[in-house]
Structure 1
Amino acid sequence: MASSKQFNVGVVGYGMSAKIFHIPFIKATPSLKLHSILQRSPKPGDSAPADYPDLQHHTALDSLLADPALDVVVLCTTPPTHFAFATAALEAGKHVFCEKPFVPTSAEAAQLAALAAQQNKLLCVYQNRRYDADFATVSQLIKDGTLGRVVEFETHFDRYKMEHPTNWKGTVPMEQGGGAVYDLGTHLVDQVYTLFGMPATVYAKFVSQRQGKFYPGSAPDGSAVDPDSLTAHLYYPDTGLTAIVRIGVLSVETQQPRFWIRGSKGSYTKKGLDTQEPQLKSGMTTSDAKFGREGPEWAGKLAILGEGGAVSQRDLPNVEPPPTYAKIYESFARALASGKEEDVPVPASQARDVLKIIEAVQESGKTGREVPISS
């Protein structure tokens, strides 16, 4: 049941995550009110107080959390800060919406889930790519049985970026939630988990495509290899499914691969990433009729096995209307209104499971072994 209550939201951090992926959707959700922003060091050209003069502004977490009017804290800071900040916010009696990657370890995720339950507060993780239009299309194909029993599910996040990232994605160690496996891999693994649940085992290889070396190992100059790319196989023996997660940084295609799915009745391929991120970065508003929609040249390709073994092939546009990142905020707002953990769109328990898979991927990459997923 809808609630007339409006929840005051405080955003911690004022980088791209806050400006592009959170604030526009908070403002577009009727039962949420953008109430306050924490920016440690505002400066000319990058100042939350200048951009939002009517809000409450803070430079320290303690002062933000001390505000009794604040209901929800949205964490848009770097991964190593998430556990401590989420803990402090929950202990202060605030609901928490945390950017991905959630926390570096499944143990920390479990601790935060337990603390949220103890405090009777909701804790959600921003796995926004569950709301990509292409993923919604894939989900519908699998749910409807169009492809039959899925035997191979290949998901890509490829790009060409020879330059090493200078933000947390390239400076925070993998063990602390940095690098490709947490930045992009979290999205891909979460989508596989959403569709198929926990795999039994994983086998993975990390590589630095920029340096031309596998991980673990050393570069030609003797320095340690920083893995920027990944190929991971997730195995589901009960159905014979292999899910393949691929991340690459030296892919020059103008239409990058996204999905390749093979089933007993059909196959589906898709190129190109979801349009929402570049649209938001370009300044498009969430109310624009084109938001979340792509051109017909990006339609997926569907091949279906017919009677007598004949194969029919056709273009398959994404589902209409496309889901957008507004949906995760709308769902979270409904959960706040109901107060029920089961209404949270991405609960910490699911993020914990995804982290267990990522931990197994890391172990496999380090040891060269196929690694079982812990229960």
Structure 2
Amino acid sequence: MMKYLILVATFLIVVQATIAQQKVQKYAVKSGHVEYKLTGSTTGTKYIWWDNYGAQSYTETKSVSITKVFGIKSETKEHTISIIKEGQFWSVNLEENNGQTGKIPNYQQMFGLDEMSEEEKKQFGKDILEGLGGEILGTEKVLDYECEIVELMGAKVWIYNGINLKSEAKILGIENNEIAIKFEKNISISSSKFSPPANINYQDISEQQQAMYGGMSDMQSMFNMGDKYEDDVDVKLYPVNYPFQQFSNKINAFKYKGYRKLVSLNEDGTYSAMFMKGLTGSLAVAATSMKNGDPSEHGNFETFTYKGKNCMLGKLEDDESSNTAVLEIPQYKTYIIIGCSPSVGKDEMIRILDHLAF
């Protein structure tokens, strides 16, 4: 059972890496279509269609990029298609008539937003915005939609409910801009739109993904380890007694050294949240019932008292790259598990605990 707790504390790091690799985009609008004009060093057009908040998507880019390096001018033509559908992705280079395909490890857990309330959708859109990092400069309308303007690493992005409607970037003398010239939301999109092109030589990279993610490519299995584990004995995962609203309030209030929240989840009574700091730092927080196992049996931990509560700090089995704090909340019979990567010292972890304020 404790293997489940270890996965809870680390799964969101895998989510972030996988999203970056597969270019999965989440939206706070159920379906839509955006057409962009590309200007700057790259000129052309880009078209995006999506449904089910991005669980199915189609992106097509037709462009020409011109660069100059040491006075030498080069031109690159691009005509690509990227498709996400039913947990599978296809990436197609129509200039070379080839492509790649594979499974998306996080598909089932990343997109299950149909039952969100309007308030939850607004919070979801805010989570996407905050996850980008950078500085919010203000608001401005694009195509009559009020957008938040975010500045990050020399780029500005105009965002409406998780949707980029405009961007401007100039890095190392290379300028790339996108501006939406057409935007339709909550429209009906035929399922055939998300069918991959035929007559393409696709390379299946599922095995490479499996090797990269160490067997954790099926996100759903992380949250349903109650099916079977280790000696194939059926088990039941107990839901946490800690109120989810209280957990969310503490997660949303957490502000410390540039950490930005990416997402928080309630999966069958186990809560999880993920923060990123720049491109390399990560902080995962989970709440689980004490009935699901004792973390001290699955790692090398120092025990101490933190503000009258029992606390453990150390490393879980098979995880030398990060350290973990486990805080007991006895009145709710709950463990709060905090995983920090890269590892930090005891004093720093206590400061994190102070700012989380469980």
- Determine if the TM-score, normalized by the shorter chain, exceeds 0.5: no
| TM-score normalised to structure 1 length | 0.25
Larger proportion of helix: 1
Q: TM-score under structure 2 normalisation?
A: 0.25
Tell which has more relative contact order, 1 or 2 (C-alpha 8 A, sep 6+): 1
Highest Rg: 1 or 2?
A: 2
Query: Which is richer in strand?
Result: 2
